[in-house]
Amino acid sequence: MTGETKKRQVRIGFQTSIITVFVGVVLLVGLTLVYLSFERVTAITRTAASGFTEKVAQLGADHVDEQFKNVRDNLDILAGLPAIQEADIADNTRLYGLMAAMLRNNPQLFNLYVGYEDGSFIEMDVIDRAKPAFRAGLKTDEDAAFRLVVIARTSGSAPVTQYLSENLIAVAEVPGPTGYDPRQRPWYVEAFKNDKTLLTGPYVFYATGEPGYTLRTPLKEGRRGVVAGDVLLNRFEDMLAEQKLGQSGQAFLFNDAERIVGHPSMSRLMAQIPERQDDLPQLGALGLPAVVPIVRSWRNGGPAQQFFDDDAGRTYIAAVHRLETTGSANVRLAIVAPLDEFYARIIGERRTLFALALAFVGATLPFAFWLGSRMAEPLRRLAEETDAIQRFDIAERPRIRSVIAEIEELGRSVFTMRSVISSFASFIPRPIVRQLIETGSALRLGGSRREVTVLFTDVADFTAKTERADPSQVMIYTSRYFAALSDEIMQHHGTVDKYIGDAVMAFWNAPADDPDHTANACRAVLACLAANQALDKEFRREGWPSYDTRFGLHVGDAVVGNVGSSDRMNYTALGATVNLASRLEGLNKSYGTSVLVSSAVRARVGDAFLFRSVDSITPKGFAEPIEVSELRGEKAMANEAEIAMCRRWDQVFASIARDGTAEAALVQLSGFLHDYPSDPIALFHARRLRSSAEGAAA
């Protein structure tokens, strides 16, 4: 009995096992799908938060940089004044008025001052920008708005300190400092040791008891000296307060010594270190222990955006950005914000949906599986869409829809982002837009020298053809014409620079490298000719005049980059190479040709394309003559008759250049014109030679 009992084993029914396996598989698959879906949402949320925080940090850094740049510009203006250069500082009311205006327009400035090599000195302070104790220590009239100190060694007058009202009316005057020598001050000495560094500090100013920097620059002309100004960092408090994210985010400035040099609550932080009133608060005063390791990690090459959790488990994102104008002072901008404050809705909905999935997956397994699949699919498509945009694949696609509000919002955001980038690419060359998307950098003024192939086009007699036409029709047909030429240029790796009236300027080998740029430019010109001819047929059928286009092509070095202003710039090429390409286009009218290229283009791709010589010219600004040729087509596609005509003409052209007299050259031309009586280049040289012969006979 006992043996039989031992042999007995637990058994379950087939139906139960199938249900158990099915439930286990469905639970595993369903919960896995739900988990993966929410993991994807988390990844997208963090990616979006990282990108958004970086943009906010960059904008904040640009704003701070702009403040320093404004001060620097004012110092440059002050240094360029004849009165400053000549040390005409005594009783110079016009100079005092300009300095006061600069101080009024730069609220972050406490003062402006200039020191000279002979010990002369002028300083103007805004009294009420310092602490109240500063005014109390001066013991001056309450109407005094400015303090003016003048030490004019050249004139021999005694140093004087004046207190001026807001309208620069003197309200008091006392003797100036007799023992003060600007030449012994660090800001004066360091300006000549390292004139590329704009700032000194940060440090706590003696006069004001507040932290700040000294901005200084040596005089470039006139008397030897230094122009400087003191910037109070507490003036950045309101600006930094505007940069924060969410309700408890913080934006602050710090230096390499891990000291806070700017904060929305700088006064409070300074008050927390009463034992060292001449020092600046440390990063630990923020109450976020992870900030210091993040800053150190970033300084050692780590990422600029990092996530961390505080002691309570709350997730934060931190972003660090450099300030370009601070030089060796190495001031940085940091933004720290809790992730849940500006993505709280997505995170909250994620938790709710996850809890509902856990509650109902057992009762509604098929529906849970279907819902998980439906949730995963749009997220996958959203990821594919964002990856495509990053690859600059901005072809129009339908908007991704979802019953989940957050995914629907993400789909709308991605759809809007693609539309914005597509519109942006209509005004900026597509390679530039692609470069900005891939690198995440901002457009900046400046350029570099590199070899480019430059193209200029123009429509012959455009004004005569369109001056009496309906302007709206002119715009429609000209836009069709530009679209046809631009498509061919871009398909052959060219960058359309600009449209100038009815002309097009384009270049190759910028911004992206193109080792075969000259050949691609020649192919683009030939493709533009074909497209132009096809378009002219359509125009004539529609009763519109044809657009006969002339082309000029040259290769050489040019300065390529962004020119203009900070709020409106143009990516273009500048230099003699561009001017010569434009000149070649204009010469087509004289020779009756359509495409003229320089000898540099012919030498570069002469083995692949068919050319014939046109003339030798010396353009304005060029010391040596330049051989000009006509581009006829690609050799691989040219027929024997075309090749023979070009070869024969080059022989005739060489003999014309070689023979010494116009009569002998005309003999050489007569045979060619007999076979090609309407050739425009031969007719041009015949006319010129006949004119030369007639002039010699006279």
Between 142 and 329, residue with greater pLDDT: 142
CA angle 46, 51, 57 (to 5 degrees): 120
What does the pLDDT look like over 379-403, one tens digit per residue?
667 666 666 665 556 566 676 666 5
Q: Which one is predicted more confidently, 560 or 437?
A: 560
Q: Which two tokens stand for residue 90?
A: 């005594």
Q: What was the pLDDT predicted at 323? A: 74
Residue 359 CB contacts under 8 Å (≥ 6 apart), including other chains: none
- Residue predicted with more confidence, 660 or 561: 561
The pLDDT-based confidence of 336 (bands split at 50, 70, 90) is confident
The pLDDT tens digits for 110-129 are 889 999 999 899 999 998 88
Nearest to 293 by CA among 284, 329, 279: 284
As a whole number of angstroms, the distance between CA 429 and CA 507 comes to 11
* Domain C-terminal end among 619, 638, 657: 638
Place of tokens 């904060």: 263
Same domain, yes or no: 195 and 52: yes
**Model pLDDT for residues 44-82, shown as the tens digit of each residue:** 666 766 666 667 767 767 777 777 788 888 888 998 999
Q: Which residues contact 277 (CB under 8 A, 6 or more apart)?
A: 204, 209, 270
Domain presence at residue 633:
yes
Tokens of 674: 């007999």
HSE-CB of 4 using CA atoms within 13 angstroms: 1
Q: Say what the pLDDT of residue 403 is.
A: 58
Of 638, 659, 675, which one is at a domain's C-terminal end? 638
Q: What is the pLDDT of residue 606?
A: 85
- 18 has a pLDDT exceeding 80: no
Query: Which residues on adjacent β-strands are paired with residue 505?
Result: 456, 498
Rounded average pLDDT over 348-377: 59
Number of structural domains the chain divides into: 4
Confidence category of residue 534, pLDDT binned at 50, 70, 90: very high
Looking at per-residue pLDDT, the higher value among 299 and 524 belongs to: 524
d(CA 188, CA 197): 12
CA-closest candidate to residue 50, choices 253, 296, 308, 252: 308
Greater confidence (24 vs 313) lies with 313
Q: How far apart are CA 477 and CA 326, in angstroms?
A: 52
> Is 497 within 8 Å of 506 (Cβ atoms)?
yes
Q: Range of 403's domain?
A: 392-426
Amino acid (one-letter) located at 464? A
If one compares 165 and 240, the residue with the highest pLDDT of the two is 165
Residues in the chain, total: 698
Top-confidence residue, 184 or 596: 596
In a domain, 433, yes or no: no
Percent over 90 (pLDDT), the chain:
25
Q: Are residues 409 and 264 in the same domain?
A: no
Give the best-scoring range by mean pLDDT among 23-27, 41-45, 118-122, 314-318. 118-122
* Residue with the larger pLDDT of the pair 283 and 207: 283
Residues 566, 683 within the same domain: no
Name the band, by pLDDT with cuts 50, 70 and 90, for residue 21. Answer: very low
Identify the pLDDT of residue 57: 66
- Residue 235 is assigned to a structural domain of this protein: yes
pLDDT of residue 299: 78
pLDDT in tens, 573-607: 898 999 999 999 999 999 999 999 999 999 999 88
CATH number of domain containing 280: 3.30.450.20
d(CA 672, CA 139) in angstroms, rounded, equals 100
Tokens, residue 463: 């004004």
- Tell me: do 201 and 126 sit in the same domain: yes
Helix, strand, coil in percent for the chain, rounding step 5: 50, 20, 25
Alpha helices in 80-161 (DSSP H): 82-85, 93-105, 132-138
Q: How far is CA 192 from CA 111, 186, 440, 553, in A?
A: 21, 10, 37, 49
Q: Provide mean pLDDT across the span 477-494.
A: 91
The verdict on 381 and 402 lying in the same domain is: no
pLDDT of residue 13: 41
Do residue 614 and residue 599 come from a single domain? yes
Peptide bond into 202 cis (omega under 30): yes
pLDDT surpasses 50 at 14: no
**CB–CB of 488/524 below 8 Å?**
yes
Q: Is 346 part of any domain?
A: yes
Q: Is residue 457 part of a domain?
A: yes
The pLDDT tens digits for 415-474 are 676 665 665 555 555 555 555 455 444 456 667 899 999 999 999 989 888 888 898 999
Residues 6+ apart with CB under 8 A from 578: 454, 505, 507, 558
Q: Which residues pair with 394 in a beta bridge?
A: none
- Given a cut of 70, whether residue 370 has pLDDT beyond it is no
What's the CATH code of the domain at 590? 3.30.70.1230
Query: Comparing C-alpha atoms, which of 563, 546, 332 is closest to residue 444?
Result: 563
Is residue 248 domain-resident?
A: yes
pTM for the full model?
Answer: 0.44
Residue of 408, 427, 687, 676 whose CA lies nearest to 564? 427
Please count the helices (runs of H) and the strands (runs of E) in the chain: 22, 21
Same domain for 175 and 265: yes
Q: Tell me, yes or no, whether 161 and 183 share the same domain.
A: yes
> Are the beta carbons of 165 and 145 closer than 8 angstroms?
yes
Q: Is the pLDDT of residue 16 over 50?
A: no
* Residue 354 confidence (pLDDT): 64
Reported as a pLDDT band with limits 50, 70 and 90, residue 1 is very low
Which carries the bigger pLDDT value, residue 627 or residue 620? 627
Q: Give the pLDDT confidence score for residue 322 in this predicted structure.
A: 77
Q: Is residue 261 part of a domain?
A: yes
In a shared domain, residues 238 and 278: yes
Question: In terms of domains, do 349 and 465 share one?
Answer: no
Average of per-residue pLDDT across 350-364: 62
Nearest to 204 by CA among 247, 233, 173: 233
- Nearest residue to 221 via CA among 96, 80, 401: 80
Residues 235 and 108 reside in one and the same domain? yes
**Matching residue, tokens 């500006």:** 342
Whether 72 is covered by a domain: the verdict is yes
Determine whether 461 is exposed, middle or buried from the number of CB atoms within 10 Å of its CB (0-12, 13-18, 19+): exposed
Amino acid present at 22: F
* Beta pairing partners, 218: 226
- 197-220: average pLDDT: 72
Cis peptide bond upstream of 511, omega within 30: yes
Same domain? For 411 and 422 the reply is: yes
**Spatial distance between the Cα atoms of 553 and 625, rounded to a whole number of angstroms:** 16
Rounded to 5°, the CA angle 313-237-70 comes to: 130
User: What is the residue-averaged pLDDT of the chain?
Assistant: 78
Q: Report angle CA 575, 580, 582 to the nearest 5 degrees.
A: 100
Whether 243 and 335 have beta carbons less than 8 Å apart is answered as yes
- State which of 638, 660, 679 marks the end of a domain: 638
Angle between the 640-658 and 680-697 helix axes, to the nearest 10 degrees?
20
Query: Per-residue pLDDT tens for 222-241?
Result: 899 999 998 876 666 666 66
Q: Which helix (H) or strand (E) element contains residue 666?
A: helix 662-675
